[in-house]
Structure 1
Amino acid sequence: MTTSVVASLLHYLGAVSIPLSGNKYTENGNGINSGLDLVHAIAQSAHCIAQGKIGSGFDVSSAVYGSQKYVRFSPQVLTSTQDSSWRRLPEIVSDVLKQKWDHENKPFSLPPFLTLLLGEPGTGGSSTPSMVGSVKKWQNSDPTTSQEIWQKLADSNSLLELQLKNLNKYSLDHYDSYKHVITACSRLPYNNWIEMVSDQVGELIVKSLLATREAFLQIRHFLCEMGKNAGVPIEPELQTQILDLTMETEGVLFAGVPGAGGFDAVFAVILGDANHNPIISTWSSRGVLPLLVGEDPFGVCLETGDPRARDVSSAISSITIS
């Protein structure tokens, strides 16, 4: 929401030009990606001021640039947003814009015919700052163990990324075979996937699917280890039961808890269309509300399909600002 408000205001005031949904951004002569860098810097600043702390910035970066592999910026970039000596907002924004943003945001999205689902457990949520603080306290008190788990988690994340890239490549090089395998596997539990292939390409695709699943199981394992050592419920037992049941459901590639974990939400990546997957009834039977949202690989853009947007634009254009 922060990103949407910032982008809307900057676009309306003529500071940036936000393209229509689905259009690519192009760089201008100053090397700024059609104003996206400006939207990003101001949205990050506003978000940090509202939060009262400097977070990872991943949520804002994703909202601006779209699905991505992210490496956070140096926190010093946004120091002025937390410094009480900075009294005026224009001064804060001016300082932030002068800083060197050293984050990375390389485009990265799910392979074709894979669908992301989000569920609301209805258990009250978790305090992310408190959980993060406990993990940092454990890191400082036991640097050897924490570094070992952290590295194993990073290795598992890299393995997951590699397998998803492999699936993307199979979809490009062997589209028909890839689509056939995904469609067939979407109707079966994971332990029956290998049985339905009859050619070498199909076998390679299924093996990559299974390797993707195994990489995410490792990620869940190391997140649980981190939570146990830090004394916080990164993957609470109640969520573990739901996630294990989810991963046994037909057509489910993997499932987990997003963000910092806890009781906020659960997610699943499934093969094929959610309308033909039993995950909806599986979640509903366990008190998890499936949300009517999906992955959108694009960043901030102007929407044209909603008639309410035209109504709002017409109303705004008639306002005189003095």
Structure 2
Amino acid sequence: MEVVASAPGKVLLTGGYLILERPNAGIVLSTKRTFRASTYPAIVVIISMLLRVLRAYHVQFDANSLTNAIATFQWRIMLYWSPQLSRESMYKLSRKHLTLQCVSSSESRNLFVENAIQYTIAAAYATFDKNKKDALDKLLLQGLDITILCCNDFYSYRGFFFEALGLPLAPEALATLPHFTSITFNSEESHGGNCKPEVAETGLDSSAAMTTAVVAALLHYLGVINLSTSSEDQHRLNKNSMDLDIMHMIAQSAHCIAQGKVGSGFDVSFAVYGSQCDVCFSPEVLSAAQAAVKGMPLEEVIRNILNGKWDHERTEFSVPPLMTLLLGEPATGGSSTPSMVGAVKKWQKADPEKSQETWIKLAKANSELEIQLNMLRKLAEEHWDAYKCVNVIDRCSRLKQAKFSRFILCSLPSKCLLPRWSTKPIAWTVVEGVTEPIKEAVVKALLREREGMLEIQNRMRTMGEDAGIPIEPESQTQLLDATMNMEGVLLAGVPGAGGFDAVFAVTLRDSSRNVTNAWSSHNVLALLVREDPQGVCFESGDTRCREILRQFLPSTSSELLISCFCI
């Protein structure tokens, strides 16, 4: 039985830095770009590799005998493959302590995968009765094979693909990359050094998506949860399930231990539940997970985690209809989020009065943007025919910032007070216009959304200057200003903690093509990322995964087989 789970990457639209502290909220959008984890019995792969080697030396051996021999191992075999990174690891699992021991090269270890495996298996033993534990023992005697692949958008392929081949910086060119393209490594590999990937990440949060995908696949494979895998609308059926809550708690704990710290948790939360407005949990809720590091039995740790008071708050969210999320990758390289967060915290301690003032104003601007986006979603749900026919959105999609502003103001009813466009303190004006209620409501929301985003940009930029870090570097400011002046752009900003990683834009109607073309002229690659509000999903077996693994196995069979039979 094969189980395939996928977990999405994310774009943190608002809440950068603030989301680390309760009760501040952040808007997190999940995307169509995912990490995938497939799980099935390792014994199938081990026998396949062994038969391949035996045939190469013309040795006759019965497959059934091989199966019975391997099944007598006292150690459960865990295989982890990441063909894109040319990495593989083999572990043995102690049933008594539920701990993993790596028996292959330590260079290919992945702490996120290791903790996901340990915590998921411990969750099964912690929640099962005796009969189910006996069945679990038999299942684990077959071993576990975990293959991990991710969509190309998680990593930057500018160097070896676009620049090396002289291709235009266009999403159409990016789409020609084969699925799950391998990641190149630096030259140290040829000298026997500890080589590292040459490519940078694009800010979609690979560790959270990968951890969640592995936990989801294993929980389902082991029978701890049973979520829909066939419905076209499985997210709607599963979103309020207790199984998702179990998945969330286990993934958060594994991710926390692998990171070595307790973060806000929004990165794992969106990967499980999908797009949301999120308030983080209290750090104390993961004190049980941290106790595992100090030697507490893992089964006991898991019981404490599952019975803990998880006080995070989440509200479903998605971009309003007729709007499109775009993500662009500048050529300026990535940023270190942990060091930037550390600098902001240091600034908070050094200047508590000013930092608190900035915090409050930024939280207010974040809240205002959330309110207006929700207002548009509500208008679309309750008055769809009127909403989709409102020519304001259609006409604004063909206007630049200055004309967009004038058009909005001229579309308002008489005696309607609304702010003028400015990053300075808000001024108010009385304008003349038409009187249709739905049109008026849409116009107000659009105007206040842009005003809110401009205020967020201003406050984030100021916070970076005060903390001495490039939350919105000058190059990004110039790019955002140019983006906000493009036809059909409603919002633009730097996602998450900011820096050089990426920029986002929210466009109206079908104007996204104009933006991707304009970004290309600014040396910015528009990724294939689009919002998809659903979180973790289960899929049927992916033949592309099997084909990639089939090509990857011949070069790894001998080494792993030696590791396997030496344990």
TM range (shorter): 0.7 to 0.9
How far apart in 2 are the matches of 1:261 and 1:63? 20
Q: Are 1:139 and 2:351 an aligned pair?
A: no
1:102-117 superposed matches below 5 A: 102-117=311-326
For residue 75 of structure 1, the aligned residue among 283, 289, 294 is 283
Counterpart residue number, 1:25: 237
Once the two structures are superposed, residues 221-278 of structure 1 have per-residue CA deviations (whole angstroms, 9 ceiling, x without a partner) of 111111111111111111111111111111111111111111111111111236x531
Tell me which of 250, 268, 277 is aligned to 2:487. Answer: 250
1:57 is aligned to 2:293: no
Match of 1:238 in 2: 475
**Residue equivalent to 2:506:** 269
Deviation at 1:85, TM superposition (A): 0.9
**1:153 pairs with 2:362:** yes
Shift in Å at residue 204 of structure 1? 3.0
Equivalent position amino acid for 1:25 in 2? L
CA distance in 2, matches of 1:173, 1:33: 27
Letter in 2 for 1:127: S
Match of 2:531 in 1: 295
Change (3 A) 1:40 1:204: same
Q: Residues 250 and 277 of structure 1 are in contact (CA less than 8 Å); yes or no, is this contact kept in structure 2?
A: no
Alignment check: 8 A CA contact 2:483 2:515 kept = yes
What TM-score does the superposition give when structure 2 sets the normalisation length?
Answer: 0.51
Are 1:120 and 1:266, in contact at CA under 8 Å, matched by a contact in 2? yes
Q: Give 3-state SS (helix, strand or coil) of 1:287's partner.
A: coil
State the Cα distance separating 1:106 from its structure 2 match: 1.2
Match of residue 316 from structure 1: none
Residue matched to 2:46: none
Counterpart contact for 1:22–1:298, Cα < 8 Å: no
Decide whether aligned partners of structure 1 residues 91 and 154 sit closer, same or farther in structure 2, where only a CA change above 3 A counts.
Answer: same
1:281 is the counterpart of 2:517: yes
Deviates more, 1:128-137 or 1:76-85: 76-85
Does the 8 Å CA contact 2:238/2:244 hold for their aligned counterparts? Answer: no
Q: Percent sequence identity over matched residues?
A: 57
Deviation at residue 45 of structure 1 after TM alignment:
1.1
Structure number with the higher strand fraction is 2
Residues in 2 aligned to 1:282 and 1:135: alpha-carbon distance in whole angstroms: 33
Amino acid at match of 2:459: F
In structure 2, what is the Cα distance between the partners aligned to 1:88 and 1:287? 53
Question: Structure 1 residue 288: deviation in Å?
Answer: 1.4
1:38 equivalent to 2:246? Answer yes
Shift of 1:90: 4.1
Aligned to 1:118: 327
Structure 2 unaligned regions, length at least 5:
1-209, 413-433, 549-567
Asked if residue 211 in structure 1 is aligned to residue 448 in structure 2, the reply is: yes
Q: Within 2, Cα distance between the matches of 1:120 and 1:129?
A: 20
Once the two structures are TM-superposed, the CA of residue 139 in structure 1 deviates from its matched residue by 0.7
Q: Specify the SS of the correspondent of 2:237.
A: coil
Q: Distance in 1 between the 2:277 and 2:466 partners?
A: 27
- 1: distance between equivalents of 2:356 and 2:544? 50
Q: Is the 8 A contact 1:184 1:196 kept in 2?
A: no
Unaligned ranges ≥5, structure 1: 313-322
| 8 Å Cα contact 1:7-1:18 kept in structure 2 | no
Q: Identify the match of residue 184 of structure 1 among 395, 399, 409.
A: 395
CA shift at 1:171, angstroms? Answer: 1.3
How many residue pairs get aligned? The number is: 307
Which range moves more in the overlay, 92-101 or 78-87? 78-87
Name the SS of the counterpart of 1:47 in structure 2: helix
Residue 308 (structure 1) shift: 4.1
Provide the C-alpha distance between the structure 1 equivalents of 2:513 and 2:411, rounded to a whole number of angstroms. 18
Change over 3 Å in CA distance of 1:183–1:17 after alignment to 2: farther
